[in-house]
Amino acid sequence: MSTKERQHSDDKLQVEVEQIDDLESAKGPRYKANTQLDDAARILAEAGNFEASLEDRKRVLRRIDIYVCIPMCLVYFLQQLDKQSLNYAAVFDLQKETNLHGTQFSWLTSIVYILQLVTQPLSSYSLIAFPVKYWVVFNMVSWSIVTASTGAARNFTGLIICRALLGFFEATILPSCVLITQMWWTRREQSYRTIAYQIANSMAAVLGPLLSYGIGHVNSGIRPYQGIFIFMGCLSLALAPVVWWLLPNSPTTARFLRHGNDRLIALERLRENNTGTKSSKIKWSQVWETYRDPKTWMWAGMFICCSTPSGGFGTFGGLITKGFGFNSFHSVLMQMPTGVIGIIVLLISIYVTNRYKLRFPVVAFLCIFPIAGATALTQVERKNTNALLASYYVAQMFTGLQPLLFSWANLNAAGTTKRVVTTATMFVFQCAGNVIGPQVYLVREAPVYLTGLYVDIACWCMLLILALSMGVYLNVLNKRKEAQRVAMGLPANLKDMSIMTTEEADAYRKELSQRLAAEGFDESRLWGQSFDDMTDFENPMFAYVL
């Protein structure tokens, strides 16, 4: 492209933004765009107009899944494997071997999330300021070394120091995965990719007990719990180079997008999201907007209601099943079906949500199962092992809730800083719940843990109410967006292409182009602000996903 053509493209983009600003001034409230465009907007402006076929879009999507989704799933799998190593070690008499007493075992879980909570400001800043790949791999190598070193701990002091460091280095992984997902995929695709790395999480629940079962039989001069920590840490460390080689920093720099127009296609696909890709500047106006947004606090309430049972029921799962009358080896194997349950629940849930393009009814319906399972655990006689185990597995369907919440929440925020701060806030409340969860499982109530189960039931009931309330509120916001577009002279009845399949979006894009052309409307005005790093409040074209 010549210098003259590039200048013409830049001028055209600026004129389109100014046209929408003029409409806002004349016909409704003015929503100012941020002055700094994403790198993506600059690259697309320099490229000018280009056409990408449906086949090219699918080919680029496949390459993105290989180079981005696979390492992201691997990181999440290894992080969960290392985090849950404490659960497996507990079954092999960790408390007895290290002389733990009282609530010390509970604090070994809570301290991880306390450090994750404290580290969130640093994590949020780093995700905006630094290349995401370097930050992820640095933390991955660090937590792997910490996990392996935990095997050398012989008392509570050594264990809690290692667990605190583990929490510090793992704090950024989930927010990083959320940001990476938002940078690379359309909003419909984000749902599947979020579920993909959450399925990797569930796979850790399947393979972790199996690995621990094998390690528990090793008799080489170290205790079984030590072998579990050492093996899990070394496995993560060995796979760090694979993540380094595959994972890119962003769509604007990824080396696997060097062929032809692949980079332009990868960026153009994201225009319909109306969320941008990534800006490396902290915008304080977006921070303030995040905390003025009622959605932020509704998400926070849902995450603390979801993570409190996860922190307790998940950590004490091995001890709960051991209380049914199983020995150490059988108890750890009884955790394997929980991972399978999680995978099945996630696959069915994401199919239903994308088939009907609704999230809140699925989340609310899914809450019913853990409520029923945990209630049964408080009522079934302790001699009835089969009924207890069945109730435990029904309650384990709660593992599908948190991934669905992250997938849903991620679709409803725009602007780099707002997305990162929103995710960090949700993660803070998730950490708070994970801190509280183990503390309500009282040692004196083992192996029934009635207080913990009652708290968990209350949390799931509140989550159900909040999910229904969020669905109603998002519908109200979409009605307001339609009214705002009408006031600005823009089309009101627009479908959200970002939650359509590739084929549906392509067909609707052609239909929309024909309809707008017949009406004499310049279609480019609809998407001219897609990469302006505007928030969902600022962008009149943003659509909330129910």
User: Average pLDDT of 295-319?
Assistant: 87
pLDDT one-digit tens code per residue, 404-442: 898 788 788 888 788 888 888 888 898 889 889 888 988
Residue 501 has pLDDT above 80, yes or no: no
The two three-digit tokens of residue 227, written as one number: 């072998």
The model's confidence at residue 526, banded by pLDDT at 50, 70 and 90, is: low
Q: Which of 139, 492, 446 is nearest to 323 (CA)?
A: 446
Average pLDDT score, the chain = 81
Rg of the chain (C-alpha set): 25
The model's confidence at residue 529, banded by pLDDT at 50, 70 and 90, is: low
User: Average pLDDT of 506-528?
Assistant: 69
The model's confidence at residue 18, banded by pLDDT at 50, 70 and 90, is: very low
Three-class SS state of 233: helix
**Nearest-angstrom CA–CA distance, 232 and 253:** 33
**Nearest-angstrom CA–CA distance, 482 and 495:** 11
Residue 236 has pLDDT above 50, yes or no: yes
Q: Which of 455, 357, 444, 469 is nearest to 407 (CA)?
A: 357
How does DSSP assign 291-354, residue by residue?
HH-HHHHHHHHHHHHHHHHHHHHHHTHHHHHHTTT--HHHHHHTTHHHHHHHHHHHHHHHHHHH
Q: Which of 409, 397, 396 is nearest to 302 (CA)?
A: 409
**Nearest-angstrom CA–CA distance, 484 and 492:** 8
pLDDT at 406: 82
Angle at 76 between CA 134 and CA 65, to 5 degrees: 75
User: Average pLDDT of 300-304?
Assistant: 95
Three-class SS state of 255: helix
Please answer whether residues 378 and 365 qualify as being in contact, where contact means their C-beta atoms are separated by less than 8 angstroms: no
**Nearest-angstrom CA–CA distance, 369 and 396:** 8
**Nearest-angstrom CA–CA distance, 279 and 396:** 39
**Nearest-angstrom CA–CA distance, 316 and 90:** 9
Domains (range + CATH), the chain: 71-252+282-479 (1.20.1250.20)
